[in-house]
Amino acid sequence: MDGPGKTAPLLLHDLLTYDPRYEDAAKRNLLTTPPPQYDPRSPPKAAVPYRNCRHDLQLKQEQSALPQKGTGPDHNLVYRVAAFCKKCRWHFDFWVDLRDNGAQNSPCRKVNHEFPLHHFIFRGEQDHQRSESLGGHNKPRTYSFSCSAPKCPVDLRIRISPPCFTESDKVLLTNDANLRKRWERSKALIGDRADPEMAKPIDAPNYLNTYLHDSCKPQKGKTRIPFLNRKFIKTFGEDCDDILKKLGFTLAVEQEQDGTTTNGWRLPEPSEEQDPLESLEPTSRTMVQDARYELNAIIMEFPASEPPTTRRYPLDLIPARSYLELALGCDDYELRTGGRRETRSTSISEEDHPYYAGLGALADFSDSLLLFAYKRQVDVDPPNTPYYFECLKDLAKGRDSDALSTECAILASQDLVTRQEINQAYRTLAIDPSHVALLSDVIITEQYKARLSDIGPAQLEEAKNALRVIGIARDSDLIKRTASSTIETYQEALAWLNLPDSAVASDDMVTSMFTSKLIDHPTEEPTARKAVQIIADHRKSSALWQWLETGDLGKIEMDAAEAYATLNIPDRSTRLVPEMLEEQVELMISDTPTNEERLRIALKIVKKDQETSYGNGAAPNGDSSHPPGSWPVGCRNIGNTCYLNSVLQFLFTIKPLREMVIECEKHFQDLSTEALQSKRVGRTAVSRARAETGQQFVRELRGLFNQMITATGYNVQPERSLAALALIRGENAPVAAASSTKSDAEHVGLGKIGDMPVSGPMLPPGFQSNSRPPTPADSVMGDADGDADSMKAMDLTATADEPNGTADGQPEQPSRLPPPVPPRRQANADIGLKELEETAQQQDAAEILNNVFDLLSCAFKGEEVLRDGEQLDMIKRTFFSDVTTVRRVEDKDIPKVDLQDCVSVSTNDRDRSLYAALDEEFGLTEIDTGSEKYEYFEKTAPIQIINVRRLRYENRQPRKDESHITLDKVLYMDRYLKKTDSLSEAELYELRKQQWRLQKNKQDLLKRRTLLKETEFKDVSLPDVLDETACVVKNLKDLQPEIDNGSPASPSEQGDNGPVTREVVSEHLSQRADELRPEVAEIEERIAKLEQQIDFVFADCKDHPYRLHAIFMHAGSHVGGHYWIYIYDFQKNIWRKYNDETVTEETEENIFKKLQQARPPTSTGIVYVRDDVATKFTEALYRNPIDQQGDVEMTDAPDVVNMDDITSMEVLQGQEVPLQGQEQ
């Protein structure tokens, strides 16, 4: 589908009224965009702005290759018609290519009854970014069109160029005051040689025309003008130099015969004449010719009283319109009876009815041509067929045309409906037509069924017909079947009985709704029984089958088939993960608490069926077709910490980190007091206890990594102590855990499955539902910070002269990571499962990864010391970037460099690309009154982690932002760097400023859109609120004005207008809504266009590519859900999904597409790897399975294990064994 087009006569008509100077005022490009759809209820608006020039095009013969009258379109011809408007002096070049293009070898022509005219579709604009930049309306623009007829090869290009002489140039050349100043100046320069009279206004254009004429036909002695020539100096002086240079004149110093030198101007040196068809681009000769045409037009504006001898070398002007009509094949199209070929382009007051423009036609078209235009519009733009049918139907009536009326009747019999009929159908069902884009087919059928209970038999047929019209308009089988009272699918059966989804609708509810339906509509019993039959067959419900036969539901318990259907599990043969199943059921219960009993019964039956089919063992790897040694292992969930497993799988794929962990003893920090004295991690001095905790964690992680390498099965189980250490925010791990003092009622957040808390993304600690919403932190779902020891952004530029890292006395701005929150209860290595989960529920994947980096840096010795004493190590080199935040205060830039392990971005409730989110994060933003900031990378990490903020607040309540982030497999970081390989810092800064200007425009539009779309009513825009208010007011009693106590509308003030009635108020509200609604659509379109322009600014910056490596995913709400991770294997070139113990291959389509469902999975963390180290730094598959070395005797273990006693142990196949070379 190409969108609407225009016939050749309308395109030419629009071109003759299109004025690029006032395009912004018109709010659309009259030439390339279709006219807005006409609304008879809206006040009439001029199709062409009053200020637009009605062009009078004149031919530029030497630049044209013209068509000839009486010769039809030739298969090998190309026409070029070059013209300019003698009123506004803009230039128009038409390039019409009729050459064959494969099967397209039959141009449209009058003798072709099927395609008598060209019907042009706009194909695009060359270099549209330049034309849409600042001052773009004053730059040349080239538009491309092609004929929509299947076999027509015609392509059309129209180049529109601004005048050589601007209005300010014209004033400079001809204004009397300017000429007088030059005359006075000439007297000072050449004294007595000065001309006794000042130049006339006509002289400058006349002399320039002469000079340019001479330059095209150079003669010896006429190639230069002495600067002090008395006529030249009084006419042009020194202030016209820029005009002369623009025309190609050059300054030169000439040596005379007597040896003296004089300054002068050399005439332009135009290029040789060339074939007009050689190129549409201008040459130096065509530029001189264009200037002459403009000068002649300026000269002709002077009154005839000017002496004719002053007009030298005039150009003959020939109107260009007839040649344009010939080239476009519309010079003799068929006219309506009594019609005339219009010249409305010269008329300000006369316009066609807007329905003609809607069909891409003119009012003088014959009936057959008007029908042709209708068919072309429908063919290229099917979604708007109702509007085109409305145009044709209304014009047939206005023309009183029997032929068109007959055609409209035939089309109506073929189920075509007009836009007005569709809107009336929606109103019949009490649906506002302006809301229909937001309504699904199911909602519309539900509204129809709701109306049936309020209407009698007489109105039933009217409602059915209205629904039928809507079904035709939406091309919806569901609506059409509902209108004809037919039911085919399970969902249709539920909808017909007014039942909710299958998880809520029990069998006894089905029979109850059946009875209720028949009470209202007793004649519908056959349809109602069919609906019950479909539901029974889908559920395999013995109870419903029995009811259909006997009328008695009985006391048949739910069977397995019904239980699976109740939990929306389509395939009973699929092996399910019990923990995930329980999580899903808990989410369903939170959505429909009244159905909890039925859902728990279904859960119990499904779990029992699964145990019968598969036993109680752990589920195998999801892709068991791979031998264990050739496939990564999964990590079993040890307590609803699925996000921890995602982090562990990601860390394992980072080759240098994995190798360092496995050989950790070589890299451990010396724990002596002297060695730790200067060690700082996260801007905090590292104590011995904290370093020991870090080393303990690394040993546990080494054990897990060894399992993942050597396991002979499909999955392994991380030790509980590893999970506890990963959750630590401090240095108290080795001590025994204190019992929790909080009651279950005091815990806030995820709720429980059974008696087990559900972990995952969580509200910030201390948050209460009735408290003031805290500022969202930079984590994925909640706060990404812990206590004062967490890894925050580190200031590397603070000096002794700037206390606390501030500069110029300004208070320190918050870094990318949030301020510390109150300390959490600490986890430790001996923690119990329930206590571990209570600690885990306060952290998410981003926070755990942050803590892991902290532990690793504490455990390993440093390589160097950074500027603030921070330790530089492998973790910093691999994952941390230097980010410079530039704060701009009163035009003074204050830079501050931070060391950051991630970048956080927001979606702000809008589907957007990752580039758009990063552009907003790094762009110029206002942080307080008179202060702005922007950011860039001083140095990027080889592995760049990007977290997506998902927690938002609405009406003081938290919720998850489920907007989709579009990801590119390659992310070019150039635009976010200080400088690149090909762009200096200054050049990149200039591009940033260009982007900031566009972003500022976008922000202004977003504010306006927020004002128009966001109201106190959820998902209802301001125009819709006004419409609904108008409906309410219309049904109220007349509003009488207050007349006492200083009322705002006393009788004397009203005059003869009388009281304000509900009709007046309602009409004004509706009118205001109609005015605002197009503005909302226009703003959305402008925002989308601006985002494209913003992205295009850096389109050529591709020196620093990063490749997508991993995506952390979350499904659920802000209070619970499930995590998994996608990881790309650069060696095997495949994606895998790591879902706890299951590792499966995944397609890119499934990973990148946006799912249209409730609570869709969303990305929460994204990892990119620099292209040059992608295969060096990552290795997703690293396996070396070993056979079990005999059985290990199992002995009783003490209740409390001292972790220091098992530092020489590692875990193999879920069993602890001594390290090689050590005794047990």
pLDDT (mean) for 676-705: 92
**Res 324: pLDDT:** 95
Q: Worst-scoring range by mean pLDDT, 22-26, 160-164, 223-227, 830-834? A: 830-834
State how far the Cα of 271 lies from the Cα of 288, in Å rounded to an integer: 10
Q: Worst-scoring range by mean pLDDT, 64-78, 264-278, 1113-1127, 1207-1221? A: 1207-1221
**Res 586: pLDDT:** 86
State how far the Cα of 1216 lies from the Cα of 1061, in Å rounded to an integer: 86
Least Cα distance to 780 among 390, 1164, 389 occurs for 1164
State how far the Cα of 61 lies from the Cα of 1127, in Å rounded to an integer: 65
Query: pLDDT-derived band of residue 181, with 50, 70 and 90 as boundaries?
Result: very high
**Res 783: pLDDT:** 37
pLDDT(716) > 70: yes
pLDDT (mean) for 945-969: 87
**Res 1218: pLDDT:** 43
pLDDT (mean) for 241-247: 92
Between the CA of residue 43 and those of 38, 160, 676, 1066, what are the distances in Å?
A: 10, 33, 80, 16
**Res 1054: pLDDT:** 44
Between the CA of residue 1039 and those of 30, 1033, 1065, what are the distances in Å?
A: 44, 9, 9
Between the CA of residue 1096 and those of 24, 975, 984, what are the distances in Å?
A: 21, 11, 19
**Res 1205: pLDDT:** 43
Least Cα distance to 721 among 88, 1116, 1216, 349 occurs for 1216
**pLDDT tens, 761-781?**
333 333 333 333 333 333 344
Query: pLDDT-derived band of residue 1038, with 50, 70 and 90 as boundaries?
Result: very low
**Res 999: pLDDT:** 85
Least Cα distance to 488 among 500, 499, 498, 477 occurs for 477
**Res 576: pLDDT:** 80
Query: pLDDT-derived band of residue 490, with 50, 70 and 90 as boundaries?
Result: confident
- The angle that helices 525-539 and 542-550 make with each other, rounded to 10 degrees, is 150
**Res 733: pLDDT:** 47
Say what the pTM is.
Answer: 0.46
Contact by Cβ (8 Å): 782, 761: yes
643: helix, coil or strand?
helix
Query: pLDDT-derived band of residue 1119, with 50, 70 and 90 as boundaries?
Result: low
pLDDT(1074) > 80: no
pLDDT (mean) for 948-961: 81
pLDDT (mean) for 1013-1020: 55
| CA 866 from centroid of its chain's CA atoms | 40
- Fill in the DSSP letter of residue 601: H
CATH 3.90.70.10 is right for the domain spanning 635-978+1104-1177: yes
Could you identify the residue written with the tokens 């301020």? 819
- Contacts of residue 297, Cβ cutoff 8 Å, sequence gap at least 6: 84, 86, 87, 89
Q: For residues 1027 and 63, which has the higher predicted lDDT (pLDDT)?
A: 63
Least Cα distance to 849 among 912, 789, 779, 749 occurs for 779
**Res 1192: pLDDT:** 43
Domain residues of the chain, as ranges? 6-164+319-365, 167-310, 413-570, 635-978+1104-1177, 984-1100
pLDDT(981) > 80: yes
Contact by Cβ (8 Å): 859, 661: no
pLDDT(632) > 90: yes
**pLDDT tens, 879-935?**
999 999 999 887 788 899 999 999 999 988 888 899 989 998 998 888 776 788 999
120: helix, coil or strand?
strand
pLDDT(621) > 50: no
Could you identify the residue written with the tokens 């002053």? 310
**Res 1103: pLDDT:** 93
**Res 750: pLDDT:** 35
Query: pLDDT-derived band of residue 311, with 50, 70 and 90 as boundaries?
Result: low
pLDDT(149) > 70: yes
**Beta-ladder partners of 960:** 951
Query: pLDDT-derived band of residue 943, with 50, 70 and 90 as boundaries?
Result: very high
**Res 1221: pLDDT:** 39
**Beta-ladder partners of 925:** 933
Contact by Cβ (8 Å): 861, 664: no
Long-range contact pairs involving 72-81 (C-beta distance under 8 Å, separation at least 24) = 72/109, 73/98, 73/107, 73/109, 73/154, 73/329, 74/98, 75/99, 75/100, 75/105, 75/107, 75/153, 76/100, 78/277, 79/327, 80/276, 80/277, 80/280, 81/320, 81/323, 81/324, 81/327
**pLDDT tens, 18-57?**
999 888 777 789 999 999 999 888 888 888 888 899 999 9
**pLDDT tens, 359-416?**
999 999 999 999 999 999 999 999 899 999 999 999 999 999 999 999 999 998 888 8
**Res 526: pLDDT:** 83
pLDDT(1157) > 80: no
**pLDDT tens, 1190-1219?**
444 444 444 444 444 434 444 444 444 444
Query: pLDDT-derived band of residue 127, with 50, 70 and 90 as boundaries?
Result: low
State how far the Cα of 724 lies from the Cα of 700, in Å rounded to an integer: 11
pLDDT(112) > 50: yes
pLDDT(798) > 50: no
- Fill in the DSSP letter of residue 1038: P
Q: What mean pLDDT is reported for the chain?
A: 78
**pLDDT tens, 838-879?**
555 545 556 788 889 999 999 999 999 987 889 999 999 999
**Res 24: pLDDT:** 78
